[in-house]
Amino acid sequence: MDEKPSYNELLQKVYGLEKESLERQQTEIENERLVSMLRATLEATADGIAVVDREGKIVRFNQRFKEILGIPESVMAMKDDNLVIGHILTQVKDREAFLKKIGDLYDDPDAQDHDIVEFKDGRIFERYSLPEQIDGKSVGRVWSFRDITARKRTEKNLQKSFKTLQKAMDGVIQAMALTVEKRDPYTAGHQRRVADLAEAISREMGLSKKQVNGISLAATIHDVGKTSIPADILSKPGSLTDHEFGIIKTHPVVGYDIMKEIEFPWPIAQSVRQHHERLDGSGYPDGLKGEAIIVEARIIAVSDVVEAMSSHRPYRAALGIDKALEEIAKKKNTFYDPVAVDVCLWLFKEKGFKFNNTKK
Q: What is the pLDDT of residues 112-136, one digit of tens each?
A: 888 999 999 999 999 998 888 777 7
Taking the C-alpha atoms of residue 51 and residue 190, their distance in angstroms, rounded to an integer, is 66
| Side-chain half-sphere exposure of 284, counting CA atoms within 13 A | 11
What average pLDDT does range 62-81 have in this prediction? Answer: 91
pLDDT of residue 4: 66
Residue type, 337: D
The rounded distance, in Å, linking the Cα atoms of 210 and 155 is 19
Q: What percent of the chain has pLDDT over 70?
A: 85
Measure the CA–CA gap between 269 and 292, rounded to whole angstroms: 15
113 Ramachandran zone, left/alpha/beta (phi>0; psi -120 to 50): beta
* SS3 at position 111: coil
* pLDDT tens figures, 14-23: 555 555 665 6
DSSP string computed for 307-321: HHHHS-BTTB----H
pTM of the model: 0.62
Which fold is adopted by the domain 160-349? Hypothetical protein af1432 (1.10.3210)
48: Cα within 13 Å, side-chain hemisphere: 19
Domain residue extents for the chain: 45-147, 160-349
CA distance 168 to 231: 29
Each residue of 157-190: pLDDT tens digit? 999 988 888 788 778 787 888 777 777 766 668 8
Assess contact for 295 and 186: CB atoms under 8 A.
no
Please list, in sequence order, all residues whose beta carbon lies within 8 angstroms of the beta carbon of residue 9, skipping any fewer than 6 positions away. none
Supply the pLDDT for residue 184.
72
pLDDT category, 338, cuts 50, 70, 90? very high
Which CATH fold would you assign to the domain 45-147? Beta-Lactamase (3.30.450)
Range list of H helices, 184-229 = 190-204, 209-220
The pLDDT, as a whole number, for residue 205 is 96
CB-count burial class (<10 Å; 0-12, 13-18, 19+) for 299: buried
Residue 23 or residue 57, greater confidence: 57
Q: Going by C-beta distance under 8 Å and a sequence separation of 6 or more, which residues neighbour residue 1?
A: none
Task: For residues 193 and 122, give the distance between their C-alpha atoms in angstroms, rounded to a whole number.
Answer: 46
pLDDT of residue 24: 64
Q: What is the DSSP string of 21-67?
A: HHHHHHHHHHHHHHHHHHHHHHHHSSSEEEEEETTSBEEEE-HHHHH
Q: Mean pLDDT over residues 327-351, rounded?
A: 96
State how far the Cα of 93 lies from the Cα of 46, in Å rounded to an integer: 23
* Residue of 78, 72, 38, 74 lying closest to 56 (CA atoms): 78
> Which positions ≥6 away from 273 have C-beta within 8 Å?
252, 253, 255, 256, 285, 286, 297
Q: How many residues does the chain have?
A: 360
359 pLDDT above the threshold of 60: no
- Per-residue confidence (pLDDT) for residue 358, from 0 to 100: 45
